Amino acid sequence: MAIIDPKRYMPRSLFSRAALIVILPLIILQVLVSIVFVQRHFEGVTRQMSRSIAREMAVAQQVINTSPTAEIAQLRLINLARPLAMPMDLAETVSDVGQSRRRWFDLSGRALVEELRSLLGGEVSVDLVDDPRMVSVRLATEKGVLSALIPRVRVTATNPHQLLVVMALASVILIVIATLFLRNQIRPILDLANVSEAFGKGRSLPYRPSGAEEIRRAGSTFLSMRSRLERQIEQRTQMLTGVSHDLRTPLTRMKLSLELMEDEPEAKAMMRDVNDMEAMLDAFLDFAKGDHGEEPIFADTVALARDVADRSRRGGAEIDLRLPDHRPADASVMLRYNATCRALQNLVGNSLNYGSEVRLSLRLLPKTCEFIVEDDGPGIPEDKRDEVKKPFLRLDNSRNLNKGGGVGLGLSIAQDVAHAHGGTLELGDSSDLGGLKATLRLPR
Ligand SMILES: Nc1ncnc2c1ncn2[C@@H]1O[C@H](COP(=O)(O)OP(=O)(O)OP(=O)(O)O)[C@@H](O)[C@H]1O
Ligand SMILES: [Mg+2]
């Protein structure tokens, strides 16, 4: 059985929700007032006005009935018609008042007919169809049928829609004012959301808390959190660069001394170790620098994937590059070019280290772009996949004993780069090649 979730039908943005909260009651109020008003108008006002007409007709009927002859009745009727401003006529030969007629949608007409009937008895008919602006009433008397023509405006209030129009206009004005206010209240929240999102992607946008007190508070909390984080990152960078830099000087000295004693058999092995240490220091420096300083640019992802493959090929590696068949019109994404290259090179480097066949493919989806690096190596067990992304973490070395001195920063850097772009790094199994499948997913 399908379960209906009311939240699915709620508008998603804060602005439209707030607007709904303001506008919905306004519309309900309008509808309620309109119903009550229309009811009051037709049921109340029309009945009251009809009653006075009925009374005037009753007087005329009385005058006719009490006249000794029909001629006298005619004369009295003429005298009466003038002050009542109601042309009346007595037809002596006719004895039937005929049928009442009205249009089906003429609600006030129904009230009018009912009211005249109840006050004048059954012998009355009302015609509202012949001339819509006139009410033609026919009433039986002792001397024939009395007919009168009454302008409709005397029975039904004029311009009954005016109130509704005024009300609709007032609500439009209210809605416009409410919308303007809402917009102003929601802008600070949007601003805060935007700077937080940008910071999550590694950009520090200028921001000043504004708006209602609660939003200001959230804003200044965000600011102090951001500066604390920035300070921490800066300290980490400074420490790592400092240490790496300081270590480099004695290393260089050692290299020089080693070069002087080239003949010694141990010198060669030591030289290799020193070179490894230098490479590790470079990796530390890279990691410490992170992607700071590099500004995102609008870069072509196809060109980037080619670039990464070319760089590895130049190093003598073989890479199977798979680009989208039909190149989409918009393959460009905002990203830090060098950082993204470094992340991909780390992934490709891993695959080359741990496998032999390597494939780099690019997938462009509507909201994201995916760089997928696959290989035919041993892969990473599922329970280790989160762990290996941590800095300085390497899995057991038995499988890559003689494959260079890694420090365990490659995946960590790649993940940092992904996060700095608001993306992710996912590790899985390659169904085609059987090894690791690393997916660097960036939003576009
Ligand atoms: N393609 C792969 N196939 C199998 N295991 C992998 C693969 N890529 C990474 N690993 C495992 O994950 C660990 C961490 O990888 P990471 O790239 O972070 O460090 P590293 O390659 O050992 O060193 P570095 O990249 O810093 O030189 C590796 O030690 C390796 O055990
Ligand atoms: Mg690596």
Question: What is residue 266's predicted lDDT score, i.e. its pLDDT?
Answer: 83
Give the confidence band of 293 by pLDDT, cuts at 50, 70, 90. Answer: low
Tell me, in angstroms, the distance from the centre of ligand 1 to residue 273's CA. 20
pLDDT 10s digits, 151-195: 888 887 666 667 778 888 988 998 899 889 888 989 999 999 999
CA-proximal residue: ligand 1, atom 4 (nearest) = 379
How is domain 7-154 classified at the architecture level of CATH?
2-Layer Sandwich (3.30)
pLDDT 10s digits, 340-369: 998 999 999 999 999 999 999 999 998 899
Give the mean model confidence (pLDDT) for residues 314-330: 85
Ramachandran category for residue 297: left, alpha or beta (phi over 0 → left; psi -120 to 50 → alpha): beta
Tell me, in angstroms, the distance from the centre of ligand 2 to residue 204's CA. 29
Ligand nearest to the backbone CA of 280: 1
For residue 38, is pLDDT > 50? Answer: yes
Concatenating the DSSP letter of every residue in 16-27 gives: HHHHHHHHHHHH
Residue ranges, comma separated, of all CATH 3.30.565.10 domains in the chain are 293-443
Spatial CA neighbour of 156 closest among 25, 13, 53: 53
**How far apart are the C-alpha atoms of 4 and 253, rounded to whole Å?**
74
335 CB neighbour count, 10 Å cutoff: 26
First to last CA, the chain: 38
Contact between 158 and 108 under an 8 Å Cβ cutoff? The reply is no
Question: What is residue 248's predicted lDDT score, i.e. its pLDDT?
Answer: 86
Type of residue numbered 388: V
**Torsion sign over Cα 336, 340, 341, 343:** positive
Looking at 3.40.50.300, 3.40.140.10, 3.30.565.10, 3.30.1370.60, the CATH number of the domain 293-443 comes to 3.30.565.10
Question: What is residue 46's predicted lDDT score, i.e. its pLDDT?
Answer: 81
Q: Relative to the CA of 378, which ligand 1 atom is closest? A: 4
Residue ranges, comma separated, of all CATH 3.30.450.300 domains in the chain are 7-154
Give the confidence band of 292 by pLDDT, cuts at 50, 70, 90. Answer: low
For residue 320, is pLDDT > 90? Answer: yes
Contact between 85 and 158 under an 8 Å Cβ cutoff? The reply is no
CA-proximal residue: ligand 1, atom 27 (nearest) = 406
Give the mean model confidence (pLDDT) for residues 271-275: 87
Most confident of 249-253, 258-262, 373-377, 420-424: 373-377
Tell me, in angstroms, the distance from the centre of ligand 2 to residue 227's CA. 32
Give the mean model confidence (pLDDT) for residues 294-323: 91
Alpha-carbon distance values, 76 to 54, 68, 91, 293, 427 (Å): 18, 11, 14, 107, 107
